[in-house]
Amino acid sequence: MIAHRFISPLDHLIVGFDKALRVVGGVAAMSRPNPGALAVDSELSDAERRHAAGLMRVNHVGEVCAQALYDAQGSFASTPALRAQFEQAGREEEDHLAWCAQRLSELGSQPSVLNPLWYAGAYAMGSVAAKLGDKVSLGFVVETERQVEAHLDSHLELLPPQDAKSRAIVDQMRIDEIEHADAAQAMGAAEMPLPVKLAMRAMAKVMTTAAYRV
């Protein structure tokens, strides 16, 4: 008979703190190959490289926030099935985090210096959503992922056409985000009120504008 070790609240706190440090410190492991690995690395001008790096830094910040959101929502989920869904989505988002970090390095740039702030804010929002109930938490996922999908669509238009590596990464991220939203919807997500959707868009605008530069 296998004995199951009791996980205390302090254990959870330590694990969560360790994960937060790894995420904001740029430590992420990919479970899937980088989609941009086989793409031809075409020549970019200095301006194009800076622009691509700014966009990929925004995407990296989005993945930092995704790690915080899914971790918070998974911690407060009321059922094992819902917790497993958040954990699975979180693992795929960690792939995105690693892919974006690698591409930033290739572009000669770095992640946002404000990552600790983004992580803390996202964790707080995820915790509030989870505390309001599973349907609200799932609805928050759906709305977040729909907004991220639209944001990634815009990046596919804004990235330099010859930047095949960044475009391959963004395209796979978009596919995954759609799947995450669909999965949350299928599990009984509640529709977010319009004021909440607008507030989420406003906060995302502030984040993306700042992350593009720093």
- Express each pLDDT in 21-78 by its tens digit: 567 666 677 899 999 999 988 899 999 999 999 999 999 999 999 999 999 999 899 8
Specify the pLDDT at position 161: 95
What percent of the chain clears pLDDT 90, i.e. is strictly above it? 82
Q: Specify the pTM.
A: 0.88
Among 183, 174, 136, 126, residue whose Cα is nearest residue 152 = 174
Average pLDDT, the chain: 89
How is 61-76 classified by DSSP, letter by letter? HHHHHHHHHHHHHHHT
Domain ranges of the chain: 44-213
DSSP 26: T
CATH hierarchy code of domain 44-213: 1.20.1260.10
Report whether 26 contacts 103 (CB < 8 A).
Answer: no
Which residue do the tokens 């983004």 mark?
118
How is 150-197 classified by DSSP, letter by letter? HHHHHHHHHS-TTBHHHHHHHHHHHHHHHHHHHHHHHTTPPPPPHHHH
Taking the CA atoms of 176, 56, 30 and 83 in sequence, report the sign of the dihedral they define. Answer: negative
